[in-house]
Amino acid sequence: MKKLGMIGGTGPESTVDYYQSIINKFQKQTGSQETLPELLIYSINMYKIFDLLESGQEEELAEYLAAAVLSLERAGADFAVISANTPHIVFDQVQQKVNIPMISIVEETYQKARQLELRKIGLLGTQFTMENDFFKEPFKINGKEIFVPNEREQQYIHEKIVKELEQGIVNEETKKEFLAIVERMIEQHEIEGLILGCTEFPMIFKPEDLAIPQLNTVEVHVAKIVEMITTD
């Protein structure tokens, strides 16, 4: 059994979701309620990540994340994950700076979209996730179309993520606005699926809310994590 090293705190709410989801899926997969995986969590400062990205300091962000992964590595982790979408903007740089393998939330989400045979896909997340190409690239190079909200909607979504969801706040009016944005994307772009590209989104989006498949990035990431833990 492999030992997981997880970068958490990005934000705290999703870190709890990751931990509980990993435990639940592991026990379901192993068929034992009396068996638990061994894992390490290194909680970092989510707001420092936002500050570094806003000031264009991507190399500093990569160093910050790599230092956390290296700490997990020294503590005995066999592989590592970052429990958030936005920091994956420097995923490749971080992987190059550490010795243990890392599982990309972006790659696993792409594989899920491919499995579902989705061609036109909507992407919601922080403004960093929506306006940059790091999440879109694997989809585009494999012939899939990725659509994001307009600039005003992106700003609204980002603000609500930072000021509400990252604080554990679920506002019904915010949910109503988010769903209206998605419905517009369905009508305008004919999207066939939606990437929940923020690990706090499962707090506000429920499977029954939309008529199209939702790609819960926490769920797809956790599935690969548990597979990795249980692989000899």
Beta-carbon contacts of residue 23 (< 8 Å; ≥ 6 apart): 36, 37
pLDDT at residue 12 in the model: 86
How far apart (Å, rounded) are the C-alpha atoms in residues 103 and 82? 8
How far apart (Å, rounded) are the C-alpha atoms in residues 209 and 181? 13
Domain ranges for the chain, please list them: 4-105+220-229, 106-216
Q: Do domains 4-105+220-229 and 106-216 have the same CATH topology?
A: yes
Averaged pLDDT score across all residues of the chain: 95
Q: What is the CATH number of domain 4-105+220-229?
A: 3.40.50.1860
What distance, in Å, lies between the first and last C-alpha atoms of the chain?
Answer: 6
Rounded to 10 degrees, the C-alpha dihedral 9/18/174/47 comes to: 10
Average of pLDDT values for 168-196? 97
Average of pLDDT values for 173-181? 98
The secondary structure of 43-91 as a DSSP string is E--HHHHHHHHHTT-HHHHHHHHHHHHHHHHHTT-SEEEESSSGGGGGH
Task: Tell me the two tokens of residue 70.
Answer: 């290296």
pLDDT at 118 over 90: yes
pLDDT at residue 5 in the model: 98
CATH architecture classification, 106-216: 3-Layer(aba) Sandwich (3.40)
Beta-carbon contacts of residue 205 (< 8 Å; ≥ 6 apart): 175, 178, 194, 196, 214
Average of pLDDT values for 7-35? 91
CA atoms within 13 A on the CB side of 144: 28
Average of pLDDT values for 8-26? 92
pLDDT at 13 over 90: no
pTM tops 0.75? yes
